[in-house]
Amino acid sequence: MTRLHSLDSADVPRWEDQVGIDRIVNRRVMELDPLPSPAEVLGKYALNPEQRELVASSRDAINDCLYGRDDRLLVIVGPCSVHDPRAAFEYAERLAAVSHELRNDLLIVMRVYFEKPRTTIGWKGLINDPDIDGSHNIRKGLILARKTLLGVLERGVPAATEFLEPTSPQYIADAVSWGAIGARNTESQVHRQLASGLSMPIGFKNATDGSVKAASNGCYAAEQRHTFFGVDHQGRACAVETLGNPDCHVVLRGSIHGPNYDEDSVRNALTTIREMLPEDSAAAHGLIIDCSHGNSGKDEIEQARVVRNLAQRLAQNEQGISGLMMESFLVAGNQPEAPLDDLVYGQSITDRCIGWEETDALLHELAQAVRARRKLRK
């Protein structure tokens, strides 16, 4: 077992020896590898004024869509997870072009996900294992994730991510415009507390068993003030006191029992939410539909069908849908995880994704649906 202690002199006692607990702590810890503080990383890889403005303005625009002040459709689209920043940048460049073209109808935010919750074991994402080889170089992963976010913003596209580890947001959250709490964590007190202090809108996904009430409870809890254990930007342990996050909302992602994107499911989910949350809240106004995961069985062909189904319903002025999410990458499908040089460029190593050509077509169909809805509303 390796412990942190001074290597300058064999005469310098370890802290465990000094406080007399050397035999009862860290018995199952192999190594403690110090990381740079968030302040060090943010200082070295800082947002420039244009990037800061993009983050601030896109957060405001997302809120306008969530609260119904903007009639555009919020579309969160991109890879299931980022494993290759170069491919993510190419995707962002393509997305920036179509986003500009459809800017009057769609508010497009790119999925830039670095942390993957696993049901058992598997690749945990770019931050945890950036070399995809089991070396788990988290220091490298944190810096690479931040540089990836800066690169996406540099191309003019706001970013969305899922927050999994309670410490990692200190390193990246200033560059994120929309955040998610995943289905496995929507009932977690730690993640609800975390969401209460985050500076962007947060979507709580329904639980894996399909429970919308769990996500609704998450929104309610995150709206409240909390005090909890955390770290500051200097990396020091501290008590974190939050003001609460009023901009939380529910994401329908299907469940182990099947899809929940149909009209009845949307209506029932909103009824559940409105029983707990005020009518003027983002959550009570509308939902985001995750077209992947349980709503399509993680099949990219079915996922495209779900998107087209929603487009038809939006064009008919169905109420209660504020946005949707798609998993999409340069190349359709997925592939087994492996070191970067052994992979197909631009293809997911986690869930199956819609390819770029189909993504482009779907975004245009969604924009057309928004235009049709706008005519009906007028």
Q: Please tell me what DSSP assigns to residue 27.
A: T
Lowest model confidence (mean pLDDT) among 27-41, 264-278, 291-305, 349-363 = 27-41
Q: What are the tokens at 278?
A: 């005020």
| Contact between 327 and 295 (Cβ < 8 Å) | no
Over residues 161-200, the pLDDT tens digits come to 999 999 999 999 999 999 999 999 999 999 999 999 999 9
Question: Which 3 state secondary structure label does DSSP give 326?
Answer: strand
Over residues 190-244, the pLDDT tens digits come to 999 999 999 999 999 999 999 999 999 999 999 999 999 999 999 999 999 999 9
Domains and CATH numbers, the chain: 1-32 (no CATH), 36-377 (3.20.20.70)
Q: What are the tokens at 209?
A: 């068993």
Alpha-carbon gap, residue 114 to 175, rounded angstroms: 13
Share of the chain above pLDDT 70, in %: 96
| Contact between 214 and 187 (Cβ < 8 Å) | yes
In sequence order, the 6+-apart residues with CB closer than 8 A to the CB of 310 are 261, 289, 291, 321, 324, 366, 369
Q: What are the tokens at 371?
A: 């235009």
Residue with tokens 């170089």, as numbered in its chain: 137
Alpha-carbon gap, residue 241 to 223, rounded angstroms: 13
Q: Please tell me what DSSP assigns to residue 211.
A: -
Closest CA to 323 of 67, 91, 116, 112: 67
Alpha-carbon gap, residue 349 to 333, rounded angstroms: 9
The pLDDT assigned to 122 comes to: 87
Residue 334: beta bridge partners?
Answer: 348
Range 342-355 burial, b when 16+ CB lie within 10 A, else e: ebeebbbbbbbbbb
Q: Across all residues in the chain, what is the average pLDDT? A: 94
Q: What are the tokens at 366?
A: 């969604």
Q: Cα–Cα distances in Å, from 251 out to 213, 255, 375? A: 12, 12, 27
Q: Is the pLDDT of residue 334 over 50?
A: yes
Alpha-carbon gap, residue 136 to 149, rounded angstroms: 20
| 289 CB-contact burial (10 Å; exposed 0-12 / middle 13-18 / buried 19+) | buried
DSSP string, 249-264: EEEE--BTTB---SHH
Q: What are the tokens at 301?
A: 């062909």
Over residues 291-332, the pLDDT tens digits come to 999 999 999 999 999 999 999 999 999 999 999 999 999 999
Distance of CA 193 to the CA centre of its chain: 16
Backbone angles phi, psi at 258, to 5 degrees: 130, -170
| Contact between 291 and 310 (Cβ < 8 Å) | yes
The reported pTM is: 0.94
- pLDDT bucket at 12, cuts 50 / 70 / 90: low
Alpha-carbon gap, residue 278 to 113, rounded angstroms: 31
Alpha-carbon gap, residue 242 to 240, rounded angstroms: 6
